[in-house]
């Protein structure tokens, strides 16, 4: 371990003499075709990045429309977008539009943004780099996954053009078999997207098993990869169940085959079991990669060896596995047997244990580290804070007696936004800042990054903490108006909705600002000429590649002589002190 100095520095970027003229993966070929048919995992990652960001902003606009409508208790904002002969008709049409908005917002955010977000972008880009591999195991399959993603996304856009969708992102039967909106197009889209996710998972699992650099033992794999590995297991084992569920729903709707719809002899609770058997594990598809990002950023930006490497790695895998056994907590009031509810409740509590282990380990990593409050670190700290609230409120919902009151209220909405936005999105922001310079060879503006992190935090909390309050007061989710309640409730709901709407505007502005300065930096940002220009580096292998990496990642096969968190400066100080 003492000779870590000559560790992994192959080729080492443009600084390495002789390679100065070397092309990187971005400028190696500029034609459109070279992008569309690329097999380079880095380029595929960037194509995903552009796509998921597009859909994120699309879904975001829908969210702002929803929030604007809810600013006042009655029906108003959305009535301007619909037609009707009198006030009552107008209100009904606006209510329909509202249902479409929240459905598309949820479905787009989940299937087109959150599920692929971190794995398909940063996972694709960094998984081979962090393993010291030239590419993922199946590059063609990787490109294929991307195009399936695009195809699935087109189905969603088609849904939008052909009458929209108003079932909620959960497609619950029997409503989804009877509504006259475009259920088949959207579920078929989600079906296709599922295969994109499965194939990415297959690729990652095989790559982690078979493509590791020499000496990269399982305990020298960066924690981001342990997280991606666990995520891939879920993608492979849970997504096919969603696929068959949606396919059955399509058959039911198109041919009248009775599986889920009681009118046709089916069982609607069966649908819920099937749906949540995928969709609960799916929330871990969304959050586990985020955990991985946080492990990397916390460690690098406090220059400290991650605390409890083994525990964090094992907790990722155990969350993935236990996550398969808790789906029934979405069905406490759906008429499942009390015994089943009891067991699901207990196992749900059990998931919180490995989750808490992670949070404690991150905090312990920070302890006595040399913390730098740059944009990735601010986002990572924000993540720890927000995710903890999201996770803990999950426990309120996992408690049978409280869930009866909180189910289908804004409390649930706040819970999942704390984990999905406060968790996954904020980790996504941490990742994008953490690796930006490595990916593009340009620096973003650090001040802008910090301002954005702070305003995202403020806007987010205003938007969603208020929803905890109104949810605990009984404000139901998916309601278009809230003017038919007692005066006391009306004043609480109105105030909280107004805070929430203002917060969402701040959040929206902060994210637009982020998009703006990041895009700006692509063209005008300060260039990274060699590794010493980087504002930070880590000890995991992606930092040993050139900036930006060369098309085949490394000039020579790197060898993992040390672990991913063996920071030299800290090792020295420890050597003196102990």
Partner 1 sequence: MSQVADHAHTEHPPHLHHHFHSSAQQAASAKLGMWVFIAQEILFFSGLFMAYIALRYLYPKTFLAAHEHLDVSMGALNTVFLITSSLTMALAVRAAQTSNKKWAEINLLLTIGFALAFCVVKYFEYSHKFHLGIFPGKYYAYTHIPGNPEVFFGLYFVMTGMHALHVVVGIGLLLWIYLKTRTGAFSAAYYSPVENVGLYWHLVDLIWIFLFPLLYLVK
Q: Binding residues for partner 1, per CB under 8 A? A: 10, 133-135, 137-139, 198, 201-203, 205-207, 209-211, 214, 236-241, 243-245, 247-248, 251-252, 255-259, 264-267, 270, 273-274, 552, 556-557, 559
Q: Looking at beta carbons only, is 157 or 202 nearer to partner 1?
A: 202
Residue 443's binding partner, choosing from partner 1, ligand HEM, Cu ion, none, with beta-carbon cut-off 5 to 8 A by kind?
A: none
What's the burial of 231, exposed, middle or buried (CB within 10 Å: 0-12/13-18/19+)?
Answer: buried
CA distances from 240 to 198, 273, 290 (A): 8, 14, 23
- Interface positions, 279-298, toward ligand HEM (CB under 6 A): 283, 286-287
Task: Verify binding: residue 170, ligand HEM, rule CB under 6 A.
Answer: yes
* Nearest distance from C-beta of residue 395 to ligand HEM, angstroms: 5
* R_g of the chain computed on alpha carbons: 24
d(CA 166, CA 297): 39
d(CA 290, CA 190): 22
3 state SS of 476: strand
Task: Verify binding: residue 185, ligand HEM, rule CB under 6 A.
Answer: no
* Nearest distance from C-beta of residue 283 to Cu ion, angstroms: 6
* Nearest distance from C-beta of residue 240 to ligand HEM, angstroms: 20
d(CA 438, CA 495): 45
d(CA 269, CA 115): 25
* Nearest distance from C-beta of residue 280 to Cu ion, angstroms: 4
Residues with Cβ < 8 Å from 574, sequence gap 6 or more? none
d(CA 537, CA 8): 13
Q: Looking at beta carbons only, is 280 or 438 nearer to Cu ion?
A: 280
CA distances from 521 to 265, 444, 447, 449, 514 (A): 58, 5, 13, 11, 11
- Interface positions, 149-168, toward ligand HEM (CB under 6 A): none
Task: Verify binding: residue 421, ligand HEM, rule CB under 6 A.
Answer: no
* Nearest distance from C-beta of residue 552 to partner 1, angstroms: 8
Residue 395's binding partner, choosing from partner 1, Cu ion, ligand HEM, none, with beta-carbon cut-off 5 to 8 A by kind?
A: ligand HEM
3 state SS of 135: coil
Q: Looking at beta carbons only, is 366 or 421 nearer to ligand HEM?
A: 421
Cis, bond preceding 174 (omega within 30 deg of 0): yes
Q: Looking at beta carbons only, is 272 or 316 nearer to partner 1?
A: 272
* Nearest distance from C-beta of residue 91 to ligand HEM, angstroms: 25
Q: Looking at beta carbons only, is 131 or 420 nearer to ligand HEM?
A: 420
* Residues binding Cu ion: number (CB under 5 A): 1
* Nearest distance from C-beta of residue 525 to partner 1, angstroms: 30
User: Which listed residue (79, 103, 297, 355) binds ligand HEM by CB under 6 A?
Assistant: 355
- Interface positions, 26-45, toward Cu ion (CB under 5 A): none
376 close to 456: Cβ distance less than 8 angstroms: no
Q: What are phi and psi of 550, to 5 degrees?
A: -75, 165
* Nearest distance from C-beta of residue 218 to partner 1, angstroms: 15
Residues with Cβ < 8 Å from 572, sequence gap 6 or more? none
3 state SS of 574: helix
DSSP 550: B
Binding mask 382-401 for ligand HEM (x = CB under 6 A): ---------x--xx-xx---
Task: Verify binding: residue 107, ligand HEM, rule CB under 6 A.
Answer: no
Task: Verify binding: residue 407, Cu ion, rule CB under 5 A.
Answer: no
The single residue listed with the structure tokens 């730098």 is 372
Residue 423's binding partner, choosing from ligand HEM, partner 1, Cu ion, none, with beta-carbon cut-off 5 to 8 A by kind?
A: ligand HEM
Q: Looking at beta carbons only, is 9 or 450 nearer to partner 1?
A: 9
Q: Looking at beta carbons only, is 352 or 559 nearer to ligand HEM?
A: 352
Both tokens of 532, joined, read 């010493």
Task: Verify binding: residue 322, ligand HEM, rule CB under 6 A.
Answer: no
DSSP 571: H
Task: Verify binding: residue 7, ligand HEM, rule CB under 6 A.
Answer: no
The single residue listed with the structure tokens 């220059």 is 303
d(CA 421, CA 418): 6
User: Which listed residue (412, 425, 453, 541) binds ligand HEM by CB under 6 A?
Assistant: 412
For residues 383, 384, 385 and 389, what is the CA-based torsion angle, rounded to 10 degrees?
Answer: 100
N-terminal to C-terminal alpha carbon distance within the chain: 17
* Nearest distance from C-beta of residue 326 to ligand HEM, angstroms: 8
507 close to 459: Cβ distance less than 8 angstroms: yes
* Nearest distance from C-beta of residue 559 to partner 1, angstroms: 6
User: Which listed residue (407, 434, 438, 497) binds ligand HEM by CB under 6 A?
Assistant: 407
Task: Verify binding: residue 280, Cu ion, rule CB under 5 A.
Answer: yes
CA distances from 382 to 229, 406, 425, 523, 557 (A): 25, 26, 11, 29, 37
* Nearest distance from C-beta of residue 59 to Cu ion, angstroms: 21
Q: Cα–Cα–Cα angle for 438, 193, 114, nearest 5°?
A: 50
User: Which listed residue (55, 98, 416, 460) binds ligand HEM by CB under 6 A?
Assistant: 416
Binding site for Cu ion (CB under 5 A): 280
**Residues at the interface with ligand HEM (CB under 6 A):** 170, 283, 286-287, 329-330, 348, 351-352, 355, 391, 394-395, 397-398, 403, 406-407, 412, 415-416, 419-420, 423-424
């Amino acid at each position: 371990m003492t000779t870590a100095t000559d560790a992994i520095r192959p080729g080492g970027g443009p600084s390495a003499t002789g390679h100065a003229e070397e092309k990187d993966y971005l400028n190696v070929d500029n034609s459109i075709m070279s992008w569309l048919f690329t097999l380079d995992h880095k380029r595929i990652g960037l194509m995903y990045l552009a796509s998921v960001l597009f859909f994120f902003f699309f879904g975001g606009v829908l969210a702002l429309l929803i929030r604007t409508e809810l600013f006042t208790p009655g029906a108003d904002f959305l009535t301007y977008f619909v037609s009707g002969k009198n006030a009552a008709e107008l209100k009904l049409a606006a209510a329909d539009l509202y249902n479409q908005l929240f459905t598309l917002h949820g479905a787009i955010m989940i299937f087109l943004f959150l599920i692929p977000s971190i794995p398909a972008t940063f996972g694709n880009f960094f998984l081979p780099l962090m393993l010291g591999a030239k590419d993922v195991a199946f590059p063609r399959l990787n490109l294929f996954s991307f195009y399936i993603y695009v195809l699935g996304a087109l189905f969603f856009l088609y849904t939008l053009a052909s009458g929209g969708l108003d079932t909620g992102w959960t497609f619950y039967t029997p409503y989804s078999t009877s509504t006259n909106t475009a259920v088949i197009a959207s579920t078929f889209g989600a079906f296709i997207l599922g295969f994109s996710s499965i194939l990415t998972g297959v690729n990652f699992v095989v790559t982690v098993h078979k493509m590791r650099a020499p000496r990269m033992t399982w305990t020298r794999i960066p924690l981001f990869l342990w997280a991606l590995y666990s995520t891939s297991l879920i993608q492979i084992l849970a997504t096919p169940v969603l696929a068959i569920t949606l396919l059955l729903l399509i058959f039911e709707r198109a041919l009248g085959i009775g599986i889920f719809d009681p009118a046709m002899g089916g069982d609607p609770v069966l649908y819920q079991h099937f749906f949540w058997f995928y969709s609960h594990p799916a929330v871990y598809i969304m959050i586990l990669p985020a955990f991985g990002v946080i492990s990397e950023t916390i460690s690098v930006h406090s220059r400290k060896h991650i605390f409890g490497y083994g525990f964090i790695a094992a907790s990722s895998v155990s969350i993935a596995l236990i996550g398969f056994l808790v789906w029934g907590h979405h069905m406490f009031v759906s008429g499942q047997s009390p015994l089943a509810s009891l067991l699901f409740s207990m196992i749900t509590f059990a998931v919180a244990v490995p989750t808490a282990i992670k949070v404690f380990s991150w905090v312990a990593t920070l302890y006595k580290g040399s913390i730098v409050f740059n944009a990735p670190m601010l986002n990572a700290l924000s993540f720890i804070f927000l995710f903890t609230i999201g996770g803990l409120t999950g426990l309120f919902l996992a408690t049978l007696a409280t869930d009866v009151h909180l189910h289908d209220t804004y409390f649930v909405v706040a819970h999942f936004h704390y984990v999905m936005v406060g968790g996954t999105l904020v980790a996504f922001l941490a990742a994008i800042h953490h690796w930006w310079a490595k990916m593009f060879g340009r620096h973003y503006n650090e001040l802008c990054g910090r301002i954005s992190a702070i305003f995202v935090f403020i806007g987010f909390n205003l938007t969603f903490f208020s929803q905890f309050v109104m949810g605990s007061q009984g404000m139901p989710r998916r309601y278009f108006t809230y003017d038919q309640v007692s005066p006391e409730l009306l004043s609480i709901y109105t105030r909280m909705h107004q805070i929430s709407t203002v917060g969402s505007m701040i959040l929206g502005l902060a994210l637009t600002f982020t998009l703006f300065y990041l895009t700006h930096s692509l063209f005008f940002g300060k260039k990274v000429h060699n590794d010493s220009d980087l504002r930070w580096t880590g000890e995991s292998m992606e930092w040993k590649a050139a900036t930006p990496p060369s098309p085949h990642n490394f000039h020579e096969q790197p060898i993992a002589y040390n672990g991913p968190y063996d920071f030299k400066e800290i090792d020295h100080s420890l050597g003196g002190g102990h």
